[in-house]
Amino acid sequence: MTSSGVGLKFIATPLHTGSTGSRALGVLTLLAVGALLLFALVLSPPEISQGDAVRLFYVHVPSAIVSLYVAFGITLLGSVIYLRKQSVFWDLMAGAAAEVGVVFLGFTLLSGMLWGKPTWGTYWQWDPRQTSTAVSFVLYLGYLAVRKLDMDPTARSRRAAFLGIVSFFNLFIVRFSVQWWRGLHQGTTLNPLDMQMANIMLFTFFLGLLTMTLIFFWLLLHRFRVAWLEHQLAEISLEAAIAERRDEDDPGSSPALAAKGIS
Amino acid sequence: MTDSPTRPPVRQALDLSPAVPAAGARRPKRKKRLRNWLTIGVFTLALVAILFQALTSARVYFYNVDEAVRDREAIGSTTFRIQGTVVTEPQTDAQGVISFIIAFNDVETRVRHIGDEPTDLFELGMPVVAEGRWDGAEFESSQLLIKHSETYVEDNGDRPAVGDGTYEVEPE
């Protein structure tokens, strides 16, 4: 198994999860959150029939897009690369993206329920879009559970990678559910050829998308670095255990232990 | 990026088998396997439960008004959902029953809603999904859900608040 990432090793840091880059990203994210709050809650107008409930659109839809396409897209990419190259970097990246993606998808489901009550009149219906999204949520929770199974790490990573690839196909069902089946959920608003939203409302949506994307990458960076450090620690512990074991046979002969200050 | 941890020099083939095989060593392995299967089982069950709920619910998800009127006899007194656009101003009587007419594909039916009050979006021109059953020629609804469209229109305060701006409806 190789630890190499394809030219992206700079993302992993040696001793902590923060760096100049991540702090700059954090500041940018905070600024974006402030701007989003200003536009979503103050500057954008109410919608003609939904009134102020429309303001949930600016976080609900962006969090759905970021989780379903960005986060789980990275999980798919990481899983494919892991299966091809056995790269620990991409295995950990796939897991970290899925973890943050599940948080975003949970927020999507929750904000959708909160939006559904004042508009539809119910928190939950077994609507095709809601159901397929819930299926995705459970699939990726299952993916994370597989990553925690108590078994050989290589076999576990391979199984998780298969599940990471298979789970992505449900996203097509989520995407087209409003066209394939009848349901309560509205159709596509953000069709590039026929936008169903304009002016400041559309701008606020894109600001929401940018903000959610920044939050996602900030979280992903830190989660990945924690995972990478855990992996490094596990490798060092294994090396130490091997050296210790060798030392049982030949006491005092382990330069690795001595180098690490382990006695 | 950290440097790779220094590997101990390989002097001979490594034997990592336990020095003293633990007594009953098979038991923890079985326990591990059981725990893994339990985890997989829980998530499989959750998926099956969601799909079961969705599929049994989807059987009655909704008929459009024209389909429901056409299949009225076949549907009988079964509970189902009907979808249509509100084409008359809803009237509420002293008992709190809301009456209005919905239409789809030029077919209309009268709805009597006896249940929780619908949301503020409920008005002339809005598409609704009502759950209930046929009561003669009328539809008796127990749950009234509003199906807002994908079009979002700014409320500038100077437009008539009819529907969501996408349904052209002439008031009676």
Distance CA A58, CA A50 (A): 14
**Are residues A181 and B58, on separate chains, in Cβ contact within 8 Å?**
yes
DSSP A2: B
Question: Between chains, do A141 and B43 touch, taking CB under 8 Å as contact?
Answer: yes
pLDDT average, residue stretch A185-201: 80
Written as one string, the DSSP assignment of B61-130 is: S-EEHHHHHHTHHHHTT--EEEEEEE-S--EE-TT--EEEEEEETTEEEEEEE-SSPPPTT-STT-EEEE
Residues from chain A contacting residue B17 (CB–CB below 8 Å): none
What pTM does this model have? 0.80
Q: Name the residue of chain B whose CA is nearest to A188's CA.
A: B150
Amino acid at A83: L
Give exposure, B64-98, as e/b (b: 16+ Cβ within 10 Å): bbbbbbeeeeebeeeebbbbbbbbbebeeeeeeeb
Domains in chain A, please, with CATH?
23-222 (1.20.120)
Q: Enumerate residues 6+ apart whose C-beta is below 8 A from B50.
A: A131, A134, A135, A138
Residue ranges of B 137-166 with Cβ closer than 8 A to chain A = 143-156, 159, 161, 163-165
Q: Give me the pLDDT at residue A56, please.
A: 94
**How is residue A110 annotated by DSSP?**
H
For residue A122, what is the enclosing H or E element?
A: none
Asked if B53 lies within 8 A of A126 by C-beta distance, the reply is yes
Task: Give B99's strand partners.
Answer: B91, B112
Of residues B83, B76, B108, B111, the one with CA closest to residue B97: B111
What per-residue confidence (pLDDT) applies to A257? 53
Residue A234 in contact with partner chain B when CB distance is under 8 A = no
Q: Which two tokens stand for residue B19?
A: 């020095």
ipTM: 0.71
Query: Is B142 in contact with B114 (CB distance < 8 Å)?
Result: yes
Question: From the list B1, B36, B152, which residue is nearest A9 (CB)?
Answer: B1
Joined tokens for residue B74: 């076949």
Q: How far does A13 lie from chain B, in Å, by closest CA?
A: 5
Angle between helices A72-85 and A153-168 (to 10 degrees): 130
Q: Please give, rounded to a whole number of angstroms, the shortest distance from the CA of A218 to a CA of chain B.
A: 19
DSSP state of A53: G
Over residues A220-240, mean pLDDT: 88
For B46-75, write each residue's pLDDT tens digit. Answer: 888 888 777 666 555 688 999 999 999 988
Q: Spell out which residues of chain A touch residue B49, defining contact as CB-CB under 8 Å.
A: none
Q: Kindly give the pairing relationship between strand B107-113 and strand B138-146.
A: parallel
- Average pLDDT, stretch A73-84? 96
Tens-digit pLDDT profile for residues A136-149: 999 999 999 999 98
**Which residue ranges of chain B lie beneath pLDDT 50?**
1-8, 10-11, 160-172
More confident residue, B78 or A193: B78
Q: Does A173 touch chain B (CB under 8 A)?
A: no
Mean pLDDT, chain A, rounded, equals 87
CA B160 to CA B152: how far, in whole Å? 15
Let me know if A83 is exposed, middle or buried by CB neighbors in 10 A (0-12, 13-18, 19+): middle
At position B14, the amino acid (one-letter code) is L
